[in-house]
Structure 1
Amino acid sequence: MTRIHRHHDSVKLDSSDIKRRELKAANRSVIVSAIINLVLAFTQILSGSLYNSSGLIADGFHTISDSFSDCVVIIASIFSNRKADDNHQYGHYRYENAATLVLGMSLFAVGSLIVWSSVKNINGHSTKSVGISALWISLSIIVIKEALFRYMMHTAKKVNSSMLAANAWHARSDALSSLIVSLGIIGNLYGYKFLDPLAGIVVGLLIAKMGASFSYESFNDLTDHATSAETYEKIDKIIRSTPGVLGCHDIKTRIVGSMIIVDVHIEVDGDMSVREGHDIAVEARRRVTEQLP
């Protein structure tokens, strides 16, 4: 009669230590983003004031929030990649989730402020004719923001960082908001003066919605939220296909930073030695980490 030996193992998906060059690339992308955002914010606010565009001013303050977000990302990136210590024996990976939560909350706050300010302008009938130069500036910023998004998303995928991805989408939201502002300015130039602050309202709502989404997802990660059912099925299939594995059960997953922690009981032939059982578990771990993106 064959005996079944249950081997318990904890699998860490993704590398536990991000390569130094990848971390350097991530920090460089955030620093570049912060500098560009500061320049763009100054340009937007100054131009909006000179050419009477409340939408462009609102978009400028949105861009300022990007610079704040970039600073949060840099700090979190440094802390989350520290090695485990006596006070944080499982590492500092949750700093990334916490930083993403701050990003989401800041987005929601900025979006709400933009909506309030734009509604106030419409109700107060403080709509003026916008200078055409504001349109060219807004269109130029769309191109710059889209390029920044693609650069940052490329880096985020390279280092597999949800925090950097969130920051990249923040840049994309700016490109979208600048597009809406441009449409509002065009409407204003054709005599529909309320369209400029109306564009500000739409931008604010989009920003607030994205902030709420990021906050919800990062909060779930901070509370040990499990992976998707699709990822769970892949893990189960990979482990069961490992030579020497007779079965597995009690698979539990949780997201920590850009990693997925998996706890699983692996069943092997009970007549095997402990070392043989351990080697099978190590092979199962290797297969999971290699086959999952």
Structure 2
Amino acid sequence: MSTRQDSRLNLSAGLGSVTVAFVLVLLKLWALGETHALSVAASLADSALDLMVSLGGLAAIIYAARPPDEDHAFGHSSAEDLAALGQSLFILVSAGVIFWASAQRLLAETAAPLAAEGRGILVMSISIVLTIALVLWQRRVARRTGSKVVQADSLHYLGDLLPNIGAILALWASAQFGFARLDSVVALGAAVMLAVGALGIGRNAWHALMDRAADPKIVAGIEKIAGNWPGVHGFHDMQTRTAGSKVFVNLHIELDGDQTLTEAHDIGAALKRAIIDAYPGTDVIIHKDPVR
């Protein structure tokens, strides 16, 4: 798949994320006013955060798609990692606020009453359907493009599903049995899930910003291709790093020093194409050394 196609897919996922988040914020604002449920408030805060970080992620996707220039010879893909790191920080703050509010309500002497549970259940059900549709599309895009921003967004929205289901259970328990404290328990669980997901997203983005090597499976795959390539007598000094959705590879191959420059070039070019075909989005630089 071409870089332009990858950019279009990432852009579609970013626009979808912003649209869904905006719709969910409006729906949950109305549901909160009707139910006064903290689990709905937690879900609303999460959706509002989704909207903010999705807008930031969309901006990062647009910026990362820009071609290399004089000041950024290797492109702008690290913008995806910066956006993903920012997402993780915002998610952690949101999780802390939700956890504190939930604990305060859970420890209160009397449970806060809920209302209009049926309307709240309807809104949360719609939220689940929209979220599932978005996550399915984001995962499809992420598998094709490797975008960390889309992956982070997908993980976050996937994490929203259980809290939404929990909110439905809390509203149902309040309507049927008057058990309002389940609302706070669900919100506590949602906060913990958000924090765990945020730490994972932040760790991966940090590693990429620090030029961590590519996934060992990718490294092993490239080594296998190079080691078995016709005309290549060996390779050494292989280096990899990740930036956003791109993997950068530097590789020295050992060739017969008596062959022509054209023959050596053809071997290196064919090997480069094979690596890119196996790992789309890879940026490969191959140095040619004579066999010693």
TM-score normalised by the chain length of structure 2: 0.88
Unaligned runs of 5+ in 1: 1-13
1:132 matched to which residue of 2?
A: 117
Tell me if 1:284 matches 2:271.
Answer: yes
User: In structure 2, what is the Cα distance between the partners aligned to 1:130 and 1:196?
Assistant: 12
**Please, which of 12, 17, 24 is the counterpart of residue 40 of structure 1?**
24
SS of 1:212's partner is helix
Range with greater deviation from structure 2 (80-89 or 247-256): 80-89
- Distance change (3 Å), C-alpha of 1:25 and 1:252: closer
**Counterpart residue type for residue 129 of structure 1:** L
Inter-partner Cα distance in structure 1 for 2:100 and 2:206? 26
Q: Paired residue for 1:80? A: 64
Structure 1: how far apart are the matches of 2:191 and 2:76? 33
Counterpart Cα distance in 2 of 1:46 and 1:120: 24
The answer as to whether partners of 1:58 and 1:200 remain within 8 angstroms in 2 is yes
Deviations 1:129-187 (A, max 9, x none): 34322223222211221111112222333333221122122221222221122222233
Shift of 1:211: 0.8
| 1:217 matched residue in structure 2 | 204
Alignment match, 2:163: 177
Identity of aligned residues (%): 23
Deviation string for 1:11-30 (max 9, x for gaps)?
Answer: xxx86xx21x5423432332
* Aligned mates of 2:51, 2:81 — CA distance in 1: 19
- Aligned position for 1:50: 34
Moved over 4 A (4+): none
- Per-residue CA distance 1:269-292 (angstroms, 9 max, x = gap): 121233322221111111111123
- Note if 1:266 corresponds to 2:250: no
Return the alpha-carbon distance in structure 1 between the equivalents of residues 234 and 65 of structure 2. Answer: 35
The CA deviation string for residues 5-45 of structure 1, in whole angstroms up to 9 with x for no partner, is xxxxxxxxx86xx21x5423432332232122112112213
State the one-letter code of the partner of 1:138.
M
Q: 1:250 to 1:199 in 2, by over 3 A?
A: same
Whether the 8 Å CA contact 2:102–2:188 is kept in 1: the answer is yes
Quote how far apart the aligned CAs of 1:208 are. Answer: 1.2
* Structure 2 equivalent of residue 207 of structure 1: 194
Structure 1 segment 66-215 matched on structure 2, within 5 A: 66-124=50-108, 125-133=110-118, 134-189=120-175, 190-215=177-202
Moved more, 231-240 or 34-43: 34-43
Tell me, in whole angstroms, the C-alpha distance in 1 between the residues paired with 2:122 and 2:26. 16
For 1:131, give the aligned amino acid: A
Q: Secondary structure at the match of 2:164?
A: helix
Contact preservation (8 Å) 2:13, 2:150? no
- Paired with 1:59 and 1:239, the residues of 2 have a C-alpha distance of 49
Q: Distance in 1 between matches of 2:272 and 2:71?
A: 27
Amino acid of the structure 1 residue aligned with 2:47: T
> Matched residues in 2 for 1:232 and 1:200: separation?
41
The answer to whether the 8 Å contact 1:149/1:168 transfers is yes
Root-mean-square deviation (CA, aligned residues, Å) is 1.8
SS at match of 1:250: strand
Give the aligned length.
Answer: 277
Contact 2:10 2:141 (C-alpha < 8 Å) held by counterparts: yes
Q: 1:257: which partner in 2?
A: 244
**How far does residue 58 in structure 1 lie from its aligned partner after superposition?**
0.9
TM-score normalised by structure 1 residue count? 0.88
CA deviations 1:40-98 (Å, max 9, x no partner) are 11221321232121101110110111111211111111211222222222221111111
Q: What amino acid maps onto 1:287 in structure 2?
A: A
Q: Distance in 2 between matches of 1:218 and 1:71?
A: 18
